[in-house]
A and B are shown apart, each in its own frame.
Chain A
Amino acid sequence: MKRLLALVVAVGLVLGAIAIRGWASGDSGDEAGTGNEATPDGAITIVCDADLEAVCHELELSVDDVTVRVEEAAVTAEALSQANTGAADVDGWLVSQPWPGMVAERRDAAGQVPVLGSPSAALAVSPGVMVMDRERQRVLAANCGGEITWECVGEVAGDPWPVVGGEEAWGEIKPGEQPPDTSAGLLILGQAASSFFGTSDFASNDFSADPAFRPWFEKLARSVPDYTPPAGTPLQQFLVIPASYDVVGALEAQAGPAVASSRDRDRLTIAYPSPMLSAEVVLVPTSPAVSGESLVERLGEERLGEVLAGQGWRVQGISLAEGLDPDIDVGDSAPLPGAGVLDALRSLWIEVVR
C-alpha cells in the first residue's frame, strides 16, 4: 500500500513539475491563447502571492474544488510576462495591485498579446504601516520633526542611534522591509519613494532627475539587515527578536493582528506614515476571455471577504480584525504610483541591494 501511495505521489510530483515548467516557458499547448474558461461549478486553481498565503490556505479548506499554489508575486509576474499565450494550469491570481498592471505593461512593451483578464474590483484594502518600539519611535519622531516618514528614515538609516538622540546600545538605525517581490514589499517601497518625492505621482526618470534621490535610496536599501536564512518576514523576525530591526514596514493586515497578539504589544506602536498608500487585493483571471468577477463568484464573494477580513484586511461591510485602527480612513490613501514606475523602482532596488 505504501509503495502504491509513493508511486502515486511520485507521478503527481512529476506531473506537477511538468505543469510548472509549462507555466514558466509559456508552452501551455493552448494555441488559441484563450486560457481556461472558468466554469462557475468546475474545479479551479488559484496562484496566490506569498503575502496572502494564509488567506489562500483558508480558501482551499473552505471552498469546494479550489486548489491554491503560493509563490511570491514577482515569480508569478515573471512567468506571466514571458508566457507565450496563457497559463494552462491556473485560473486566477490573487494578488494586490499593481502587479497585474506590471505584467500588462511588460507584455505591452515586448509586443506580446495580453495574457490576463480584467481584474475583479478591489476585494480588500490594507495600508502600509510602520511598526516600532515606542521609545525608539519617540526619539526618531523628535528627530523627524514630529512625524516619522520614510523619507526621514532613509536619511538616517544605518547611522548610529546617538546621531538622532538615541542610545548607543541600540546600535545602528535598522529599517526592516520585505524585498519588493510581494504585495507588501512593493507597496512599502513605493510608499518610501512617494515619501521622498512628496507625492505618489512621480516617474522613473525622477530617479535620476533628482540628484538627491539615488543616495537617499541607496542609504535606505543598504541599511536593511540581511539575516540569513530569514525567519519569515522582517515583521515576523522583529516580533520574535525586537533587536533585529528598528522601523519595520508592513501592511496593516500583517502588522495589526500580529502586534495585538504579541508579547511585546505594550512596547510596540503602529504608525501610518504619510503619504498613505494602500494595497488592494484583486483576483485576476489568467485568460483574457475570463473576467475577475466570474472567478470571485465561483469562490463566493462573501466567503472571500470573510477570509480576507479574518486575516486583517479591510473589507467593506465587515468589522475590522483586532489590532486595526478604526479611526484610519483608507479612503484617504494616495493613488499608487504607476505600475511601470513601481517596476522600475523594484529594478533599482535589485540593482542596489543584490
Chain B
Amino acid sequence: MKLRHLLSVLLAATLVTTSCSSGGDDEAAVDDVLGDPGDCIVVEMSVSSEKIELLTDLAATFNESENATVDGECVFVRPQSKASGGAMGLLLDGWDENTEGPRPVIWSPAASAWGSILNQRLADDGREPMVPDESSQFMLTPLVIAMPEPMAQALGYPDTPIGWADIFALATDPQGWASVGHPEWGPFRLGKTNPNFSTSGLNALIAQTYAATGKTDGLTLEDLSDPEVQAFAQGIESAVVHYGDITMTFLNNWYRADQRGTALTYASAVAVEEKSVIDYNQGNPDGVLDPGEEARPPEIPLVAVYPNEGTLYSDNPFFILEADWVDRQQAEGARLFEEFVQQPENQERVLEFGFRPGNPEVTIGTPVDESNGVDPNQPQTLLQVPEPPVLVQLLENWDEQRKEARVMIVLDVSGSMGEDAQPGGGETKLELAKQAAIDALDEFKDDDIVGLRVFTDQMGWEGNFLDLVEPGRIGDVREQLKNEIRGLQPLNGTPLYEVSGESFNQMVEDYDPARINAIILLSDGVNDDGDRSDDPQQYQDLLALLEDTTQGENSVPVRVFPIAYGADADLAALRGIAEASNAALYDASDPLTINKVFTAVVSNF
C-alpha cells in the first residue's frame, strides 16, 4: 500500500470513528460547554478522541482565566475531536472547513510520530513543514501487551520479563498454551489493531519488528528485508484473532467474555495502551461510561506486560502549527494554553483518565499503579520511532505479512435498499452500498479468500440467498465480485436471521484455522421473512448458535461483523449478532458514511 493510499485509508478510518462513535456528539458537547467565543482570539484545536473530554474541561477553565489574554484581547481555546491519522490527512491534503470544522492552531494527535509523517509528506510534496521541531508532551501512555493475569503468570509474570519473542514462541507452537501446561486455553490468540488505522497497531508493529532485529533504534530498510525478521513478523501475525480500527473492539469483547466466564479463550493477549488496561480493570473497558452504566471490575483482571525488548509511547504532543492560517496572536494564545495545561494542578487531571502526566514534576499516582495491573516504573527501555521511509516500508510489508482472511460478504438486497439514501432524492441506499463494497474490495490482500452472497426472500432461491461469487482467492475473483455487485437490484423482504445463521454455518463448515474467518453482514432493515411470529425464537436460536460455536475451549472463531445500514436497520439485533460472535457492530445509520464504514470493517482483515 503506498503512503498516499495509506493516508486516505487513515483519513477514512478517522472519519468512520468520528461519525460512528462519538465525534459528532463531541462537537456539540464542546460547544455546549465552551459557549460563544465572542470577539476573543479563537485558538482552534484538533485533538485525538481520548482526550477531548479533558481538554474541553481545561479549555473552559482557561478561557475564564485572567491569563487568557494576548495584547489585551481575550483568548478562547476551542478543541474538536479528530483522530490522529485523519487530522494528519486533512492537514496534508487540505482541510475543508465546511465539512471538517475549523482548521486547527494546535494539533494534538495521540503520538508524535504522526507529526513526523506529516512533515515528511509535506517535504515530499516540496512544501514547508507544519509541525514545529519541538513540542511539549501533554500526557503519556506506553504501548503494552495486555494479558489475563493467569496467562501472564503462566509465562513467569511478574518475575520473568516477557516480550515479543515469547509471543512469537507461543504463536508458532502447534501446541499453543499446552506447551506451558495449559491445554485448556487452546491456541495462543493475539489481538492487534490494523497499523494503517490505529496508533496502538502502528506502535505494536514497530515494537515487534525491533524485537525481531534485537535493536532499540535505527531500524533500517535492510532490517525489514531480512528473512528472519519477516519470518518473525509472520509468526506473530499468525496468531491474530482479527485486526480492526480500534482497540475498544477487543476490550469490549474481552469484557463480555469475562462476564460469561470465557475470557481466557477469547484472546490471550492484546496490544493496547497502558491506560486501556487501567480502564478495563476498573470495569470500564472502552473508557466511556454511558449514562446509568456502572463500572464493574472483571472477574479475571488484565496485567500490562511491558515488552522486555522495549516499547513506544503515545505522548500526545501539542503541535502549534506553522501554517499560513495561524497568526501571531493565535500562536501566542496557543502557547499560553500549552503552559496552562502543563501546570501541576491541571496535569494531575490526566491521571483521572489513566494517563501519565507530561510534566515530570507531577507524580505518577493512582490509578497508574499495581492495583490496576500496571507498573509506573516500567517500561525499562524506549524504542525509537523509525525514519518515515522505514515506517512506510514497514506498513507495506505488513500488508503482505498480515494473516490472511476468509470472508463472506453478505449483502441485503431487500426492497428497502432501493429507497433514497437521503430525503429529496439522489442515489439509493443500494447504489451507495454497492460503490462502498466495490471500493473496499481493493483493501483485501490478493491471497484473501472472499465470496459474495446476497439475500432477500420470495425469489425462489434455496434458503432465501444466492451465492453470486463462490469463495475464492480475491486476486483472481476481484473483478468478478465488482461486476456482480454492480449488477445488484433491490428486491423483496429481509430474511436476516435465517441468512445469518446459514451463512455462519457454512463458514464454520469451511473454517480455515490458518486464516481470519469472518462474515461481513450488511442489512438495512429488521428481520422480515413473511412470518413475524417466530422472530424472537429465530433470533435467540441464532445467538445461541453463534455463542456456542465461537466461544469456549473448543471454539470455532468465525466472526460476524454486521453493518447497520440506514436509519431503519435493526441496530439492537445486529449488535447482538456481533457480540455473540465476538466481533463488532459498525454503524452506518447515515447512509452517506457507508464508504468509510466499509473501509473500517475491512480493516479487521
In the complex, whether B362 has a CB less than 8 A from a CB of chain A is: yes
Count A interface residues, CB 8 Å: 31
- Note all chain A residues with C-beta closer than 8 A to B385: 227-228
Tell me which residues across on chain B come within 8 A of A142, comparing CB atoms.
none
* Contact residues in A for B137 (Cβ distance below 8 Å): 231, 240
Flag whether A108 is at the interface (Cβ < 8 A). no
Q: How far is the CA of A329 from the CA of B380 in the complex (A)?
A: 34
Interface residues in B292-317 by Cβ distance below 8 A to A read 308-310, 313, 315, 317
Question: Considering only CB atoms, which chain A residue lies closest to B311 in the complex?
Answer: A243
B364 at the interface (CB under 8 A from A): yes
Is A110 engaged at the interface, CB distance under 8 Å to the other chain? no
Q: What is the interface of chain A, defined by CB distance below 8 A to chain B?
A: 2, 5-6, 9, 13, 167-172, 174, 225-232, 236, 239-241, 243-244, 258, 261-264
In the bound complex, residues from chain A placing their C-beta under 8 Å from that of B183 are none
Q: A225 touching B361 by the CB < 8 A rule? A: no
A243 with B379: CB separation less than 8 A: yes
B360 located at the interface, meaning its Cβ lies under 8 Å from any Cβ of chain A in the complex: yes
Tell me which of A5, A169, A228 contacts B380 (CB under 8 A): A169
- Contacting A229 at CB < 8 Å: which of B135, B216, B363, B379? B135
- Say yes or no: is B136 at the interface (Cβ < 8 Å to chain A): yes
Contact A170 B380 (CB under 8 A): yes
Which among B134, B140, B385 has the highest number of chain A CB atoms within 10 Å?
Answer: B134
10 extra interface residue pairs, beta carbon distance < 8 Å, beyond A9-B328, A172-B381, A228-B387: A6-B327, A174-B381, A226-B384, A228-B116, A229-B133, A230-B133, A231-B134, A232-B134, A240-B360, A262-B361
The 0/1 profile, CB within 8 Å of A marked 1, for residues 352-365 of chain B is: 00000010111110
Question: B134 to chain A: which residues have CB within 8 Å?
Answer: 229-232
A240:B380 contact, CB within 8 angstroms? no
Report the 5 A-B pairs with minimum CB-CB distance, sorted nearest first: A171-B381, A239-B360, A243-B382, A169-B380, A263-B363
Chain B interface, number of residues (Cβ within 8 angstroms): 38
Q: For chain B, residues 357 to 416, give those with C-beta under 8 angstroms from any C-beta of chain A.
A: 358, 360-364, 379-382, 384-385, 387
Distance to closest chain B CB from A165 (angstroms):
15
> Is B133 touching A168 in the complex (CB atoms < 8 A)?
no
A230 and B161 CA atoms in complex are apart in Å by: 29
Nearest neighbor of B113 in chain A, beta-carbon distance? A228
Query: Which B residues between 73 and 120 are near A, CB-CB below 8 angstroms?
Result: 112, 115-116
Interface residues of B in 119-138 (CB under 8 A from A): 131-137
Task: Check B220 for interface membership: any CB of A closer than 8 A.
Answer: no
A258 to B359, CA, bound (A): 11
B216–A171 touching, CB < 8 Å: yes
Q: Is B549 in the interface zone, CB < 8 Å from A?
A: no
**Bound form: Cα–Cα A267–B216 in Å:** 23
Contacts of B135 in A (CB 8 A): 229, 231
Residues of A within 8 A of B381 (CB): 169-172, 174, 243
Q: Which of A2, A169, A174, A241 contacts B308 (CB 8 A)?
A: A169
Rounded to whole angstroms, the CA-CA distance of A231 and B135 in the bound complex is 5
Residue contact A225 to B112, C-beta cutoff 8 Å: no
CA distance A124 to B381 in the complex (A): 36
Kindly state whether residue B71 has any CB partner on chain A within 8 Å: yes
Q: List 14 A-B contacts (CB under 8 A).
A: A5-B71, A6-B327, A171-B381, A171-B382, A172-B381, A174-B216, A226-B217, A229-B112, A229-B116, A229-B317, A231-B136, A240-B140, A240-B360, A243-B310
Most buried by B among A5, A171, A232, A241: A171
